[in-house]
Chain A
Amino acid sequence: EAEVAQSPRYKITEKSQAVAFWCDPISGHATLYWYRQILGQGPELLVQFQDESVVDDSQLPKDRFSAERLKGVDSTLKIQPAELGDSAMYLCASSLVASGDEQYFGPGTRLTVT
């Protein structure tokens, strides 16, 4: 069964360092989402891609966060510099189209900033 891949699964970094997360969606899925989930809360969208184009990045802190999906397949989310408040689970999801269809989630990357 096809799955969304994410790496690393866990990351510990010091404040002010750079960190990057990788996501490989299910083959053929045009829409890719990055969500951030703070402990005890529901996930919140950071950025949404349709193929290689950004559809929604209104909640992405653009002074320190960047995201790209250069060839419309896999994607990288970067934080530079990391802050203590960035400690969270970062979830990647993909869907065939951007509609009310089901999104398939990866295992997530749990980030701890010390």
Chain B
Amino acid sequence: AQKITQTQPGMFVQEKEAVTLDCTYDTSDPSYGLFWYKQPSSGEMIFLIYQGSYDQQNATEGRYSLNFQKARKSANLVISASQLGDSAMYFCAMSLAAGGTSYGKLTFGQGTILTVHP
């Protein structure tokens, strides 16, 4: 069974600074996807970035980048130039790609609360 671990319950960052949110994963399946979602206090899950297990380059989406280290089974999210609106809960998640034993569903970590200070 797959597992996602986020070891940072809370993180603080100064506005305009960069911050890294840690995520490690465990699966024996070679084909999987890694996701980061943002959940503001309103509750909606907002997709940020995706990394496929066979992707050679780290994914980037605007101010978000994913530091994918396959051998270490880590998929850390880097937010550059933090903004006050980035304050939220952040979840790392994994799904097995088509052909896996339980493909499609997302397995989430426990989340990291990010607080951006002015």
Residue in B32, B37, B47, B103 whose beta carbon sits within 8 Å of that of A98 in the complex? B103
Indicate the size class of the contact surface on chain A. 20 to 34
Interface residues of B in 101-115 (CB under 8 A from A): 102-111
Chain A 48-84, CB-CB to B under 8 Å as 1, else 0, gives 1000000110000000000000000000000000000
Is the Cβ of B44 less than 8 Å from the Cβ of A106? Answer: yes
Is B43 interfacial (CB 8 A cutoff)?
yes
A35 to B95, CA, bound (A): 14
CB neighbours (8 Å) of A41 from chain B are 110-111
Given known contacts A107-B43, A108-B44, is B105 in contact with A45 (CB within 8 Å)? yes
Is the Cβ of A110 less than 8 Å from the Cβ of B43? Answer: yes
Q: Which residues of B contact A (CB under 8 A)?
A: 4, 31-33, 35, 37, 42-47, 50, 52, 91, 93, 95-98, 102-111
Closest 6 CB pairs of A and B: A100-B33, A42-B108, A98-B104, A100-B97, A105-B45, A99-B98
